[in-house]
Amino acid sequence: MMNVLETKAVVQTSTTTNVLLVKKLTIEEISKIHQKSINQDHVDLFITVEQVPSPEMYEEYIKREKNRAIGLAEKIRITLILNENNATLVLTSDLTKANLSGLLQVYNDLLDNIQMIELDADEVERPAKASIKWGVPLLDEATQGNFNEYNIVQLKGQSVSHFALQNQAIYAALAQTLKLYGDEDLNVYAKSLTMSGQTILKGKLNQDGTINPNQQAIQNGESAGYTTGIISIDVDNKKFDYTYCLSPKYPLTCVIKQNGGVVHSVSLQASVDTMDSEVLRQFGTMLEYFLTPIQADSDSSMNEVINELMTPFGRRTVVLEQENILDRLEKIERQFAQNIALSDTQGDITFEELAQRSDSIATHLIKEGLKTGDKAVISVKQDNELVLLMIGVIKAGGVYIPVDPNYPEERISFILKDSGAKFFISNLIQNSQDEDADYITIQPSGLLQQTQLEPHNDLLLPAYTPQSGYVIYTSGTSGVPKGVQVSCDNIIALVEATQEEFELSAHDVWTMFHSSSFDFSVWEMWGSLLSGAKLVVVPRETATSMYDFYDLLIEHHVTVLNQTPSSFYALQNIESEQRIPRLNSIRLIIFGGEALDNTKLKKWFQRYSSSKCRLVNMYGITETTVHVTYQNIFKRNLDTSSQSIGVPIKGWKISVRDPYGVPCLLGVEGEIWVGGAGLSNGYINREKLNTEKFIIDKLSGERWYKSGDLGKIKSDGSIDYLGRIDNQVKIRGYRIELDEIKKHVSRIPGVREVVVTVQNNDKDEHKQIIAFFESNKDYSSNDIRDILMKELPSYMIPSKSVHVEDIPLTINGKIDFKKLLDEQNEPYQAKTAANSGENVLLEVWCKILGQQITDEDNFFDCGGNSLLAVSLLSELKQKVSKDILLRDLYVHSSPSSMRAFLKAKERGEVSV
């Protein structure tokens, strides 16, 4: 349903001037102006007379003159355009030199011989900086000047003038449209121009179209600036034609043209940096909707308009040609029988062996009583056999639940109980096993030993069932882990959706780097197996030692590497320490698990080109089967602070919705909803949560998962990721994205790591944003403020920015906010804390951990993790000894133990 039959095409305008045309001059007027042009000395203005060579060119000459920027010309440019029958005077000025009444004055002065004095000019208002959140991001000022335009001359097939619109009604429609874009507290600059003068209203635009000048937002004693300009021009005379200058450029300007109080057109002009033409088209369509009087009161029909606008951006679900996982695996097992399927420190397993051994495990499990859909918790160390066990469960028609054997016993018990698992495949002994626990513990060796024999044919394996699959436990925000159950149908859909795009083939070598209880490893394992590739199963010790992992990548000629950004940054550092590039076999790197900071990939691109090795950032959620969207990263993307997570993979769908489930328009922030082939069955035993998070859309009847992530859709269908909804704070009425502040701080040269948090979160009036940063350069809080002021509105500037040696981490490796906030008044001083140079080791430990510890404290107990260990090692190599290995650190994790070890080594008591 469209309200509008005719809208003019979107055009680019770049005018920087006020232009007044005076048409149909009299002979007397012409001769007076002509006289002055010959006698240029009489006025301090330059008068040009253009004699148009042919009558047909007349309008073209006027158009050309009207659109000419004033550039470096002084004051006002006066051009008389003449042909045999007609004359038009074109008066052009910069808005700081003359406005409409100023130009009228010049016109009158030209005829009356009065010496010109001061001309009326417009005051220059400061337009707002980045406070508009919708559309495309604002770029730097140098790109200003290009505007998209959207004209409304008809509504419902009738001329706008038919509707007898009043300015206030138009303002109200604008306010309602802006509300859809999340801008309710909006400062506008509204100017009405008439022949007799101008009135200016500045302030908050209310929903009823009134402007409340007293509520203009003030920050730090200065006006917050205006995001929207409204210009209404009523030149009540056919002789004149006035074009108002857009400068200063408001991100959005609404121009209302009237004649004697009757509105003839409403047009929107938006900086290309704020809204691209498609976003503006949607904005304009909504404005038309609100301008059309009759149906503007019904919410549901508004939703229909929005739905219609957004339909082209909902990706159609591609029906993937799906064979089931078992057929696919069997085909691979036959086709690549002699290829290596799995490899670990113990040796290699071919697809043929894999088939035999996993069949045997399945047979055994069925004999033990495993029925279709039964769950089996597998908790063994990460090696080839773990993979075989998982495949075995699937082949038996069951559901595997991988659990890291290093998890605390209580957590494993919880999972066993919560999932209702029938089997516990592990060497671990559950001491606290309840007497009434109804699972059967199976020693993995038992399952695996028998499989050394020839193939079992005595028991037929069951046919494929979509009930088979896996369960991954994720930490809930409440602290209670929740199990997400995913069907094998989803696994095969994931592989089919990506196979072509990533050219996955049997020539690839993958690593299973991530713990089996993190779903990134589901992708690593099945992505490799189902394309016939070789999967190198990385032992946990190697995965936690990046140097060893680096060597493994080279040794196995790995081609497909999956990494979380933080571990990749560490890997990249190791690579850059090498004299020559050594990771040449890698052709595809997939980032997942956390937000990627493109700017940190510079080191990689110094050595590898994206044509040889493709870098892909993937956004994913356990609840929707590992991945959702993908975005290629090229060298040219490194400097831009792109938040793009790209487009959904084949068969997956994304929609961005407001809190009421209505689709958001292009550029409007909302919650990311995921639908399509990747949707999991939901959480085990969490009925309430399932109904909250997995919902049926009223409009389409489709099932969606509400991700809790913020995003917006852009005109090209790609999605910007804007952080977690939980990470949004409201300070003094402003909705603030802490992630956005963090992004800006981390872009400051020399700044390495940034944490942005809020102090006094409980009392609104005392809330303060505080940024903590690690940096090579010594920035003061004021330096940071000065830099950010150029990019962010002042309510987003941290009240305090604290330079810290290192950002402290909790035992879980997460940022220790409490410690940061507690210590900000007495920051940790590396130099004074570890009193003398004598205890270099302790000093290094403290520096890396960012806290005071004792000589006996274990690095890993005090917040150290594998990534910090790399930093610790490189510090030790610089300051203490070049011969320390990462594995030494794992054994001698306290300063005292390391000291003893080094002394022993010096005396030759330790063989290296």
Comparing CB distances to other proteins, the nearer of 272 and 472 is 272
| Residue choice 23, 64, 411, 556 for contact with other proteins (CB under 8 A) | 64
- Stretch of 5-13, 45-53, 116-124, 759-767 lying at the interface with other proteins (CB under 8 A): 45-53
Tell me how far apart the alpha carbons of residues 714 and 136 are, in angstroms, rounded to a whole number.
Answer: 8
**Rounded least distance, CB 621 to other proteins, Å:** 45
Q: Could you write out the DSSP letters of every residue in 366-386?
A: HHHT--TT-EEEEE--SSHHH
Comparing CB distances to other proteins, the nearer of 61 and 150 is 61
Comparing CB distances to other proteins, the nearer of 78 and 751 is 78
Structure tokens belonging to residue 678: 């990747």
- Stretch of 64-72, 235-243, 393-401, 511-519 lying at the interface with other proteins (CB under 8 A): 64-72
Segment 69-98, which members bind other proteins (CB under 8 A)? 69-74, 77
3-state secondary structure of 266: strand
| Residue 54 near other proteins by CB under 8 A | yes
Structure tokens belonging to residue 708: 């809790």
| Residue 11 near other proteins by CB under 8 A | no
Q: Which residues share a beta bridge with 757?
A: 770
| Residue choice 6, 26, 53, 891 for contact with other proteins (CB under 8 A) | 53
| Residue 327 near other proteins by CB under 8 A | no
**Rounded least distance, CB 835 to other proteins, Å:** 52
Tokens 């038996």 sit at which residue? 396
The residue type found at 560 is V
**Rounded least distance, CB 72 to other proteins, Å:** 5
Number of CB atoms found within 10 A of residue 156's CB? 16
Tell me how far apart the alpha carbons of residues 202 and 192 are, in angstroms, rounded to a whole number.
Answer: 12
| Residue 139 near other proteins by CB under 8 A | no
Comparing CB distances to other proteins, the nearer of 141 and 185 is 141
For 376, counting Cβ atoms within 10 Å of its Cβ (0-12 exposed, 13-18 middle, 19+ buried), the class is buried
Q: Are strands 751-759 and 768-775 parallel, antiparallel or unpaired?
A: antiparallel
Tokens 């009823």 sit at which residue? 208
Tokens 């081609």 sit at which residue? 559
CA distances from 160 to 180, 285, 402, 623 (A): 23, 14, 65, 50
Comparing CB distances to other proteins, the nearer of 71 and 221 is 71
- Stretch of 53-61, 380-388, 675-683, 695-703 lying at the interface with other proteins (CB under 8 A): 53-61
**Rounded least distance, CB 724 to other proteins, Å:** 42
**Rounded least distance, CB 640 to other proteins, Å:** 22
Tokens 């999991």 sit at which residue? 680
Whether residue 14 contacts residue 146, with contact meaning beta carbons closer than 8 Å, is answered with: yes
Q: Which residues share a beta bridge with 710?
A: 671
Comparing CB distances to other proteins, the nearer of 69 and 459 is 69
Number of CB atoms found within 10 A of residue 86's CB? 16
Tokens 């394996």 sit at which residue? 461
CA distances from 253 to 135, 200, 232, 284 (A): 14, 15, 10, 12
| Residue choice 4, 13, 32, 46 for contact with other proteins (CB under 8 A) | 46
| Residue 65 near other proteins by CB under 8 A | yes
- Stretch of 48-56, 501-509, 635-643, 784-792 lying at the interface with other proteins (CB under 8 A): 48-56
Comparing CB distances to other proteins, the nearer of 74 and 501 is 74
- Stretch of 67-75, 486-494, 517-525, 544-552 lying at the interface with other proteins (CB under 8 A): 67-75
| Residue 68 near other proteins by CB under 8 A | yes
| Residue choice 5, 57, 453, 811 for contact with other proteins (CB under 8 A) | 57
Distance in Å from the first CA to the final CA of the chain: 78
Residue burial 388-409, b: 16+ Cβ < 10 Å; e: rest? bbbbbbbbbbbbbbbbbbebee
Which H helix or E strand runs over 11? Answer: strand 7-13
**Rounded least distance, CB 748 to other proteins, Å:** 25
Comparing CB distances to other proteins, the nearer of 72 and 294 is 72
**Rounded least distance, CB 191 to other proteins, Å:** 25
- Stretch of 59-67, 283-291, 471-479, 904-912 lying at the interface with other proteins (CB under 8 A): 59-67
DSSP H stretches of helix in 336-408: 351-368, 384-395
Tell me how far apart the alpha carbons of residues 841 and 829 are, in angstroms, rounded to a whole number.
Answer: 16
**Rounded least distance, CB 181 to other proteins, Å:** 33
Comparing CB distances to other proteins, the nearer of 83 and 852 is 83
Kindly report the three-state secondary structure assignment for every residue of 66-77.
HCCCCCCCCCEE
Half-sphere exposure at residue 171, Cβ-oriented, CA atoms within 13 angstroms: 26
- Give the DSSP letter of residue 127: B
Whether residue 423 contacts residue 440, with contact meaning beta carbons closer than 8 Å, is answered with: yes
Comparing CB distances to other proteins, the nearer of 41 and 321 is 41
- Stretch of 55-63, 116-124, 404-412, 855-863 lying at the interface with other proteins (CB under 8 A): 55-63
Tell me how far apart the alpha carbons of residues 57 and 194 are, in angstroms, rounded to a whole number.
Answer: 31
**Rounded least distance, CB 69 to other proteins, Å:** 6
Comparing CB distances to other proteins, the nearer of 72 and 912 is 72
Comparing CB distances to other proteins, the nearer of 66 and 744 is 66
Comparing CB distances to other proteins, the nearer of 51 and 207 is 51
| Residue 179 near other proteins by CB under 8 A | no
| Residue 48 near other proteins by CB under 8 A | yes
Comparing CB distances to other proteins, the nearer of 98 and 872 is 98
| Residue 683 near other proteins by CB under 8 A | no
| Residue 414 near other proteins by CB under 8 A | no
Comparing CB distances to other proteins, the nearer of 74 and 84 is 74
Which residues make Cβ contacts (< 8 Å) with residue 408, sequence separation at least 6? none
Whether residue 889 contacts residue 873, with contact meaning beta carbons closer than 8 Å, is answered with: yes
Comparing CB distances to other proteins, the nearer of 54 and 640 is 54
Comparing CB distances to other proteins, the nearer of 54 and 108 is 54
- Stretch of 44-52, 177-185, 406-414, 870-878 lying at the interface with other proteins (CB under 8 A): 44-52
- Contacts with other proteins, 833-872, as mask; x by CB under 8 A: ----------------------------------------
- Contacts with other proteins, 369-398, as mask; x by CB under 8 A: ------------------------------
**Rounded least distance, CB 113 to other proteins, Å:** 21
Among the listed residues 594, 596, 700, the one whose alpha carbon sits nearest the alpha carbon of residue 641: 596
| Residue 61 near other proteins by CB under 8 A | yes
Structure tokens belonging to residue 258: 């009237």
Among the listed residues 825, 883, 823, the one whose alpha carbon sits nearest the alpha carbon of residue 849: 823
Whether residue 674 contacts residue 697, with contact meaning beta carbons closer than 8 Å, is answered with: no
Counting every residue, how long is the chain?
A: 912
| Residue 60 near other proteins by CB under 8 A | yes
Tell me how far apart the alpha carbons of residues 103 and 493 are, in angstroms, rounded to a whole number.
Answer: 67
Segment 571-610, which members bind other proteins (CB under 8 A)? none
- Stretch of 65-73, 290-298, 442-450, 886-894 lying at the interface with other proteins (CB under 8 A): 65-73
Number of residues this chain uses to bind other proteins (CB under 8 A):
20
**Rounded least distance, CB 51 to other proteins, Å:** 8
Q: Is 266 left (phi over 0), alpha (psi -120 to 50) or beta?
A: beta
**Rounded least distance, CB 48 to other proteins, Å:** 5
Q: Cα torsion for 501, 503, 508, 509, to the nearest 10°?
A: -10
Phi, psi dihedrals of residue 720, rounded to the nearest 5°? -95, 135
Q: Are strands 588-591 and 614-619 parallel, antiparallel or unpaired?
A: parallel
The site for other proteins (CB under 8 A) is made up of 46, 48, 50-54, 57, 60-61, 64-65, 68-74, 77
